[in-house]
Amino acid sequence: MINELNDLFAGPGAGEYLGEDVTIGVHMRQAGALAEAAGAPDALVAAALLHDVGHLSAARGAPPLDDTADARHGDKGADWLSQWFGPRVTEPVRLHVAAKRYLCAAEPGYLARLSGESVRTLALQGGPMSEEEVSAFRNRDYAMDAVAVRRWDDEAKEPSVTPPEFGHFAPLLARLATSADGGTTR
């Protein structure tokens, strides 16, 4: 598992990230480092690190997600990660796109802080949530964990910041994947 993830970060993860100023691998490692610096639990650090793994699906033999499928990368990544991790890791990954839509609707000024690319993809992802969607999202398990991942996602686009290499996170991921509960409990 560690080798497969490392290969993703080193291969397609080294490539362009939807027009952002950092590669997708740097972006994901920055998000993991931000979660770690915030003192987040291991499962949330892993979720922040792996939140965009669904964008790297071509490396796993699946067709790459195109621009119009951006809203599905959370589901694709969470489904793939579930072979090693439980919902404490996979559900924040699954819900991080919904968390962006939620924050756009629930937090004044949030939309104005998004990068241009994030605003563009928001339209592809369904736009800000309706009041009913906001209420339903708040009641989902792991919703607030997904909001935390989303905030690190938003901050993790700094070309001047060099995050730790993937290997820095490998022991944490290995612990989670081999834990007695497989990371399935909160």
Residue 57, pLDDT above cutoff 70? no
CATH of domain 2-178: 1.10.3210.10
User: Of 161 and 117, which is predicted with more confidence?
Assistant: 161
Residue 1, pLDDT above cutoff 70? yes
- The total number of residues shown for the chain amounts to 186
Residues 56 and 65: their CA atoms lie apart, in Å, by: 8
Between 2-10 and 24-37, two packed helices, what is the crossing angle to 10 degrees? 120
Residues 26 and 163: their CA atoms lie apart, in Å, by: 7
Q: CB of 151 within 8 A of CB of 30?
A: no
pTM metric for this prediction: 0.89
Q: Distance of CA 121 to CAs 88, 106, 116, 157, 172, Å?
A: 26, 18, 9, 15, 31
